[in-house]
Structure 1
């Protein structure tokens, strides 16, 4: 069992999500003129992510991230504060330039995830979002400075929480990526 802070929402176990997820309003951490992003409709593939690109709460080794169709994600307040973290990245993470909170990350170029936006459900104004279903890019936290000797305990903690730890995405999402690529390359037909 790991004593490292994986994510604040995991401290007392995984909160069971709502079955009627209808989105909500994401709000950055600023007390003055916070950025607000509306998510109309449900989110999917909620998971813990250890990649070094995702925004994480202070002291957390993992983010909690999900996707929504990009057409369901819109900035409704203080868009002037948003900056793109890395224009060369697949996920165009729009962060508040003042507090650094990542608000939404659309995938705009040709990719299996094109048309989806990555969001952090913990920023929603309600608790109806679905609980995380797996942990992705677990070994990537080593790149952020976590000692490799902690990994066995971290993976065990995720398993105890009911989250399968992967060093990539879940098998269903990896199958989706491979299918998209095979169709694009003509190996599989529509």
Structure 2
């Protein structure tokens, strides 16, 4: 069976894990005056994402996305080229107006992920970031145009690559969101 390109850093074995990730500089795809975003400190929850909102490199069906504390994320060059893609979205994805690359996406509204910024680790100048550990929102690629008949093959490919495919976030992250919600609603003690 011929499987579509999930993401180049996942299938090409280009990326090797760095469990001691200390952050770095994210760079957009512009050759002239690229946007640069500094991530001070490590990233967490790196995963493949099938949602239709995340930026994906050309030809990829999934994005690769992780989070960092928003206080550790700062634009250091060409910030005037950034604009929010969808101001109504939970994740305020700042993209380069010239090349379209999403550079960082803080969660500013009240939410379990408030205080985190979503980033695309493949944009780091150095190839030293933790490998993805799961695939999220896998079935959402259908909304992006993938034929439903391909889904079994996509899930098998993820499993073959060591990434458990989920149609939401990983169980640990879903438990975190549900716990935050239960505490906020008073159904679970603080």
Q: TM-score range by the shorter chain?
A: over 0.9
CA distance in 2, matches of 1:2, 1:123: 28
CA distance in 2, matches of 1:25, 1:2: 35
Which residue of the partner structure matches residue 109 of structure 1? 109
Q: Is the 8 A contact 1:45 1:132 kept in 2?
A: yes
Q: How does 1:58-97 map to 2 (within 5 A)?
A: 58-97=58-97
TM-score (norm 1): 0.98
Equivalent residue pairs, number: 190
Give the CA deviation at 1:91.
0.1
1:176 aligns to what SS in structure 2?
A: helix
Q: How does 1:29-178 map to 2 (within 5 A)?
A: 29-178=29-178
Could you tell me which runs of 5 or more consecutive residues in structure 1 were left unpaired when the two chains were aligned.
Answer: none
Give the CA deviation at 1:19.
2.0
Which residue of the partner structure matches residue 3 of structure 2? 3
How big is each residue's C-alpha offset from its partner over 1:25-49, in whole Å with a ceiling of 9 and x where there is no partner? Answer: 0000000110000000000000000
1:104 aligns to what SS in structure 2?
A: strand
Q: Is the 8 A contact 1:14 1:161 kept in 2?
A: no
How big is each residue's C-alpha offset from its partner over 1:98-149, in whole Å with a ceiling of 9 and x where there is no partner? Answer: 0000000000000000000000000001122110000000000000100000
Give runs of ≥4 in structure 1 deviating > 4 Å: none
CA pair 154-14 structure 1, distance change in 2 beyond 3 A: farther
Give the CA deviation at 1:16.
3.5
**Superposed CA RMSD:** 1.0
TM-score (norm 2): 0.98
Could you tell me which runs of 5 or more consecutive residues in structure 2 were left unpaired when the two chains were aligned.
Answer: none
